[in-house]
Amino acid sequence: MSTANNPIHTSVPAPSRASSIPATHNHPHPELTYTNGNHHHHHHDAGAAHQSAAANAAKKGKQKKAPDPHENLKTIKDKISQLELGAAEDKEQEAEIEREVKKANRELNSHTSKMDDLQKIDHLQKQVTEHLTNMKRWQRKSSKNQKRSDDLQKEKDQRTTELNKQSGMREKLEKLCRELQKENNRLKSENRDLKDADKSNHEAWDDKFHQLLWQLQEYQEAKDHPQAQVVDIGVEELFVHLHRLLYLCPNLARFKQRFKSLIEQYELRELHFHSLMRSKELEVQYNMARFDREKKAAEAEVTKSRTLNSQVLTFSKTESELRHQLNIYVEKFKQVEDTLNNSNDLFLTFRKEMEDMSKKTKRLEKENMNLTRKHDLTNQNILKMAEERKTNLESLEQLRKKNEKLTSIINQMQKQGRGIPSGMGGEAAYAEGDMEGTESEYEYEDEDAEDGDMEGSDEGNMTRIRRRSCMSRVLDRSRLDRHFRRRLLQRMG
């Protein structure tokens, strides 16, 4: 028989030796073939069982646990107690808000009772601005806290989902480790059984070969040293035994080679089985290390989730406190806003009156400025006219003196009996008429000046007064020039 009938199975750690034995040879231990033959089937069954166990573990990991009714009842009771506590806290908060509002109203009334309307408005405006700034600040803080709490809630949800995943993975790994432990124990027991069977098989084969070698040695000695043999009843058995020996002797060398190859195959299979066992042990160690790492990570996640839960609780508590304070400030602000609206009406009326008064004062100031400017102009014109009148009066006084001298001279001449020439008499009468005319004109100018003083606010009167004064001066000068011209003509004649 050739070695092709005994291939090495890599997937089988310890194959049977029954195939390597000749068919004509009687097997001393028939139960070994059964156990060794079943070893291959055991491995296949173990792989199938391992796959089915892993599939069942995956299915169980995917399935959700059934909720416990006691836990549901406990959660419902907790929610009811939380709602009752929340209602009691709301009532207490409302009572506290009312107390704070009454206290704020009393303080506001005590502060504003001794103030004027404008002071009240300023005080209320300051308080409103302060409350507005505080409210906006608290709103920003509450929005930030709300955003942060939302982020923490999202992170908490993510952590819980990750924790659930890790717990599911941990359960799967625990189940897998238990299955692997069972498989490892089963493989160890099978390995122990195989070692015992192999040992017994080795011992049986050793005994068999020792007996065979001993028989061969006896046969060789009997062949080398023939002796007289006593024929007994068992001659037929001896012939059968000799026939077997003669059949085995030519095939002894081939049997030895085949026995050596069988031993080598057995050693290789033993090495392969040990390598498989080593790989299984390494896989189990890797899974255990991975399980420890995942367990530590899960514990770290649990601690982190606890810290995050505590932070979320503190943030929610601070948020509720801030909301409570914000509600108090909102109520106060509403009351202050009502009082401010009432005061705003008064302030608007006062403001409107002040605007009207400011408009009136501006208009009166403008009129006063116009009047003062006109008054200054009239004063300047009056001063100029007074100076001109003074000069005119001085010139008139001089002319009167001259006229008196002339009249005295004329009277003396009349007394002396000389008589006034016809031309001189007309001129004298004309001179007197001129003087009277000038006096009447000056009186008219004085009246016009007085009228101008009475109507100093009118610029048209001032221009007329100036025009008349200029005309009077021109007339006076023209009359004086004519008078002096006549007197000179008289003296020269």
**pLDDT tens by residue, 177-220:** 888 888 888 888 888 888 888 888 888 887 877 787 787 777 77
Residue of higher predicted confidence among 103 and 392: 392
Specify the pLDDT at position 204.
83
Residue 438 banded pLDDT, cuts 50, 70, 90: very low
Candidates 240, 251, 249; CA nearest to 219 is 249
Which has the closest alpha carbon to 479: 435, 439, 424, 440? 435
pLDDT band at 150; cut points 50, 70, 90: confident
Residue for token digits 């009156």? 353
Q: What is the DSSP string of 19-62?
A: GGS-TTSPPS-HHHHHHHHHHHHHHHHHHHHHHHHHHHHHHHHH
Better-scored residue on pLDDT, 111 or 187? 187
Residue 64 confidence class, pLDDT cut points 50, 70, 90: very low
Residue 267: CB partners within 8 Å, gap ≥ 6? none
Q: How far apart are CA 19 and CA 40, in angstroms?
A: 14
CA dihedral 180, 183, 189, 195 (to 10 degrees): -100
Question: In this predicted structure, what is the pLDDT of residue 101?
Answer: 81
Alpha helices by DSSP H, 416-457: 422-454
Q: Residue 143: pLDDT above 80? A: yes
